[in-house]
Structure 1
């Protein structure tokens, strides 16, 4: 993964949810809808990352869902100050860290979390950020019958097969500049989505970079606008495909 995965900006604010468990995983939970749930699959900063907890709060309130943000890193936590501190960024080896949390290791946990929600709720969607995108799309594959919809923001580590096998309504939130979601992979996605026979949205964010949907600088008008557009796009997507439970 690229160095851009460990850069970004922390947001102010206090999450309003609670810490609980989902299966065996520690999980941040927010919202009270008993029929519709959204599973957030985190980026490298994990389940304690305030930015993602605040996004979960937004989804819960604005899309009227119960949002779950589990720990898929087995207790490993990356200090979010890494984004602001050059020395900490230098010491943090993204590749080595994620080598401990590869697809074969963490994929089953993501599936189990989604299946648990499916057993408890009438409708379930997932959204994956950066590292979390591949897992979200794997769960959304044809024949799994777990998710009702899936969204991914600036995805990392995607394989073409994970795009080709999508079997539910899907949303891509794609920045202009992204070393992970490359121009070639973007082009493959745009060529593949119309062939899948599922509703899809591909939303493009000109001038923005990898990580914008979870770590944008709110003091920069362009980044703030893109962040709001991404958040609102996800909310509207969840409303559309989880909406009958509202």
Structure 2
């Protein structure tokens, strides 16, 4: 009986997560932009990635989109599409490629909880290598202008900050409610400006902002954190959901305006 209850609970949570993603899926289906799946290869590894082209006449800057801790789901793909809608080539790698059942990716996990559990088993070296391969691939696309920025959300926000410590030719690292690396010495290697987006009601992450500011200042690096009052963790996603609370919705709108200004200045 207990086993049956657990199975039913897992099925319920899975269906609830799917329902919560329907609006994002609908956005993708209605998008006029060109979407495609690409396999980015390096060594013996292949990283499945979602690529979106903007409708522009000029060559465009690339924005690497790093998903939350639930993997490359419909919302992560929809945010890539929205960034492309602002005039940028967006590429969202599925960093769970190869970690799913039978060597699959995010969509092959039975539930988003399973994907989340798997993401914390990833090797940091592999994540960095994946992102470098994605940057090498995307920056040389015929429609790209050679400039690359990275943006990440939640777990992906932390990865965006860490990637900036490992890559010297980024135009910007955009960190959405993610934490900085813990090792103070790594800040010295950052060359790109780092922009932080944080919800006011996210004390777990916000408790790290003061020390991150001090470490970046000591290293002579550009770090610009902004806290959006009343917004919670994940507000850029939850702020566009059909049932979004007022604070998350407002925070999301303000954050998007800021993001557009940052990208336009690159």
Match of 2:120 in 1: 99
**DSSP-derived class of the 2:161 partner:** helix
Match of 2:197 in 1: 173
Distance 1:175 1:102, change over 3 A: farther
1:187 to 2:210 alignment: yes
Distance 1:213 1:150, change over 3 A: same
In 1, Cα distance between the equivalents of 2:59 and 2:154?
A: 28
1:20 to 2:37 alignment: yes
1:223 to 2:248 alignment: yes
In 2, Cα distance between the equivalents of 1:119 and 1:159?
A: 32
Match of 1:118 in 2: 139
Kindly indicate whether the alpha-carbon contact (under 8 Å) linking 2:71 and 2:119 is maintained by their aligned counterparts in 1: no
- Aligned residue pairs: how many? 224
What is the Cα deviation at residue 239 of structure 1? 0.9
Distance 1:180 1:111, change over 3 A: farther
Distance 1:195 1:108, change over 3 A: same
Which portions of structure 1, spanning 4 or more consecutive aligned residues, are displaced by more than 6 angstroms?
Answer: none
Correspondent of 2:259 among 224, 234, 237: 234
**DSSP-derived class of the 1:23 partner:** strand
Kindly indicate whether the alpha-carbon contact (under 8 Å) linking 1:22 and 1:70 is maintained by their aligned counterparts in 2: no
In 2, Cα distance between the equivalents of 1:41 and 1:179?
A: 22
In 2, Cα distance between the equivalents of 1:194 and 1:30?
A: 35
In 2, Cα distance between the equivalents of 1:133 and 1:221?
A: 23
1:31 to 2:58 alignment: no
Kindly indicate whether the alpha-carbon contact (under 8 Å) linking 1:154 and 1:174 is maintained by their aligned counterparts in 2: yes
Distance 1:218 1:154, change over 3 A: farther
Larger radius of gyration: 2
Deviates more, 1:23-32 or 1:70-79: 70-79
1:209 to 2:226 alignment: no
Distance 1:180 1:158, change over 3 A: farther
Could you tell me which runs of 5 or more consecutive residues in structure 1 were left unpaired when the two chains were aligned.
Answer: 1-6, 83-87, 242-246
